[in-house]
Structure 1
Amino acid sequence: MKPKFAFFGAGNLGLAHAGHMAMHGYDVSLCNRTGSKLQPIVENNNKILLTGAVSGKVRIAFVTESYEEAIAGRDIIVICTAAPGHRYTVGKLLPFLESRHRIVLHPGYMLGAVEVHRLLSQHNLADIPVSELESSLLTCRSEGGNTTNIKAIKHRLGFATLPAHRNWECLSPFLALYGRYLHARDSIMETGMLNLNFIIHPPISLLNAAAIDNGQRFLQYHDGVTEHVANLAEAMDNERIAVCNALGIPTTSLHEWDKIHYPTHIGDSSTLASAFRTNAAYSAIYHPDTLYSRYIWEDIPYGVMPVISLGAALGAPTPAMEAVVGICKAMFRMDWDREARTLENLGLGGLNKRELLQFMITGNA
């Protein structure tokens, strides 16, 4: 019998993923913390309209604002919120969670599974496994109301679990539908280090800041990634790779990552800039009309700053990343130090390389 899924977050990804699984016969519920995003779905008899690479109208079994109702009788909890929503969502679910549940962060960003595992442990729920995808499985954008456009399904996307020995148990329910697209990674450190939004998003936003402030609409990747923007992204990416090498974990460059996950979509893969500018999956994806978007407010504290903290612990310099964070703090007059998923904020400060890797496998230092 197929497991039952509860999806949290009715944004681009949550709407698309819940709809795609329901289209293939899975019993899914959909929950969002605010009812306004759910109202167009409810008004359409709980139906979601999928367009693009996957198309059709599908009915969601249950749509609700109630966290308790959303997981009643459900087996797998899929959290499709932005990274700041991981802790919030699990916090709301704490009174209703049982040891039989499995939690999947789609995606996990950097150290998302660690943050959730820590919260669960504080409430005697450490036996609930926490999995994460390294990036969004579906490249998608909301078209408003109950409609979402799926532009592509990424290939060979990593999936890891804390603790690692439960990874197959947590991955297997997805394989009937996504076996071509998902594969197991050894640890959540690998998946976190391969969520590369934090490498490409901040350079685009920062180096196109005047255009964004002046209300100029432009395509996020096709217009926003020039060779100079890509140069900054590659400098940050080289630092990320150096941190991975210091940890002794496998990784790949942003350039190769894009080619791996979009094997049929890229017209010219000769450079990083050309790969982004000619990727058909990125067509009609516009940059948000404000700098106050997840491309800064998520990717800096939940992507860049965690890697900087890892680099500092391992003796791997990250000057380009530190420069980007410094510019963001000055531009936005904002300090993310208390919010960021750094090792110190997660209670992992002072651990050596062996202890860090052990924690990412077992959940215990």
Structure 2
Amino acid sequence: MLSVIGGPQALPAAVYASANTGEEVGVLSSALSHEDLPGMGVDNLAEPVRLRHGLLPGTTHFVVISDSTKLKEVLYAHRQQIAGMNLLLAPGGFAGVLRVRAWFNEWGLTAPDSAEVTAFIAGGRRDAAGNKFRLGAVKRDLPLASVTPTATRALHEAFGWYFPNLASSDLVTTTLSNANHMIHPAVVLLNAARIDNGEPFLFYREGLSPAAARYMEAIDGERLELVRSLGGDPFTLHEWMLRYYAAEGMRGDTLLESLQTFSGFAGSAAPTTLRYRYLEDDVWFGLAQYLALARQRGTRFAHLQSAVTATTVLCPRTDSADDDEPWQLLSDYLSAQERNRRLNSPRSPGAQSDVCNTKE
């Protein structure tokens, strides 16, 4: 049994899961009430969709879709139900599964078997009356990872039943390849005055320009260098976008062309405040974490630094409930992996099978 917890993006994920399986799916969303689901139709799916408001009794598989700033709060509210079950973070933010493991240990509960993906699973929206829902773009080959290859395979199988668009990956890739971390801050920072003044504009149509795309690609180049140094999948931002959306009609020889011409992004409005997840999540739980890890690992970070510095002035980080920085959790995890690789090397006396590598 599957239940999806989150904000507005919980509904598309629940619709997609139910359509794929024919099963009833629970959906607990801050954007929905008990009165919203009965009678709501889906106008672009032939498959039946069965949704129930709230968590299904006996739920074994949970999907949590939350801003990173609120993730701990959301999990804490449902910690008793989620403890020891299967959990998918969609997205995981930065080192989401490692943060979850630390929190459940802090709460004295059995940690769920957790995996993370790099982005929202699917989009969609209700009509103005709330009577009809239309499923939007579904990301294809969306990377999923847990703490070991064995756990990744098991959770991919478990959640792949509901979401066939998932693909097994590794924790370096899922943590360091969230496209939003490069796209959102670049556009927001270069349109900061418009947003701060509450000026309405279309994010991908009117907020983008060749200069904005160059800034994204400069940030992405430093991210890519870090990913390569840590053994993740070295896809550029443009390659990720085409991987996700080519089946939905995305085209373009350049990143700018792909983003500006994709019909799925045509109506995306810019935020009307700088205090929004495009900076609060995508910088403080994205670029700022990349920056700290790049400093430690000795890869380039000048453009990452510029984005973090500007955000520090425009949208200072709010107090976080995290005891540890996510980048430090990932660094410790990678160090433990390296120790295990050395211990399990064929040249190492008493070597055992490798259970900590994220790739095989």
C-alpha deviation, 1:97, in angstroms: 3.8
Supply the AA of the counterpart residue of 1:14. Answer: A
1:190 and 2:173 correspond: yes
Distance apart, 1:349 and its partner CA = 8.4
1:318 CA drift (Å): 1.0
CA contact (8 A) 2:172 2:230 kept: no
CA distance in 2, matches of 1:277, 1:113: 33
Other-structure match for 2:123: 139
Q: What's the offset of the Cα at 1:148?
A: 4.6
Residue 322 (str. 1) matches residue 291 (str. 2): no
Say which of 1, 6, 9 aligns to 2:6: 9
Give the CA deviation at 1:238.
Answer: 0.4
Q: Aligned partners of 1:237 and 1:218: how far apart in 2?
A: 25
Cα deviation, residue 258, structure 1: 1.1
Contact (CA 8 Å) 1:49, 1:56: kept in 2 or not?
A: no
Structure 1 unaligned blocks of 5 or more:
65-69
Partner SS for 1:199 = helix
Q: Secondary structure at the match of 1:151?
A: strand
- Contact kept, 8 Å, 2:115 with 2:145, in 1: the verdict is yes
Do 1:106 and 1:135's aligned partners in 2 also have CA atoms closer than 8 Å?
yes
Matching residue of 1:166: 151
Q: Could you tell me whether the CA contact under 8 Å between 2:16 and 2:122 is conserved in 1?
A: no
Give the distance between the partners of 1:75 and 1:128, measured in 2 at CA: 10
1:2-40 Cα shifts (integer Å, max 9, x gaps): xx01111141x10111122233412221224x5xx332x
User: Separation in 2 of the partners of 1:177 and 1:353?
Assistant: 30
Identity %: 22
Q: Deviations over 1:64-114 (max 9, x none)?
A: 3xxxxx263001010012222321122122233443x11110111211111
Contact in 2 for aligned 1:48/1:60 (Cα 8 Å):
no
RMSD (CA atoms): 3.0
Work out whether 1:122 is the aligned partner of 2:100: no
Select which of 222, 238, 241 maps to 2:221: 238
Instruction: Give the partner amino acid of 1:331.
Output: L
Aligned to 1:107: 91
CA contact (8 A) 1:29 1:60 kept: yes
Q: Residues 109, 183 of structure 1: CA spacing in aligned structure 2 closer, same or farther, 3 A cutoff?
A: same
3-state secondary structure, aligned to 1:162: coil
Q: Distance in 1 between matches of 2:294 and 2:323?
A: 11
Pick aligned residue for 1:207 from 174, 187, 190: 190
Report the CA distance shift for 1:110/1:266 in structure 2 as closer, same or farther (over 3 A): same
**Equivalent of residue 313 in structure 1, options 286, 292, 296:** 296
Cα distance in 1 between the residues matched to 2:199 and 2:43: 27
2:224–2:235 Cα contact (<8 Å) kept: yes
Instruction: Indicate yes or no: 2:351 matched with 1:355.
Output: no
**Structure 2 gap segments, 5+ residues each:** 341-354
Contact residue 47 and residue 57 of structure 1 kept, 8 A: no
Q: Is the 8 A contact 1:48 1:58 kept in 2?
A: no
1:8-87 equivalence runs, <5 A: 8-11=5-8, 13-24=9-20, 25-32=22-29, 37-39=31-33, 42-44=34-36, 46-51=38-43, 54=45, 58-61=49-52, 63-64=53-54, 70=55, 72-87=57-72
- Distance in 2 between residues matched to 1:116 and 1:162, nearest whole Å: 11
Change (3 A) 1:96 1:347: same
Query: Is 1:298 equivalent to 2:281 in the alignment?
Result: yes
Specify the alignment match of 1:263 in structure 2. 246
Q: State TM-score, norm by structure 1.
A: 0.83
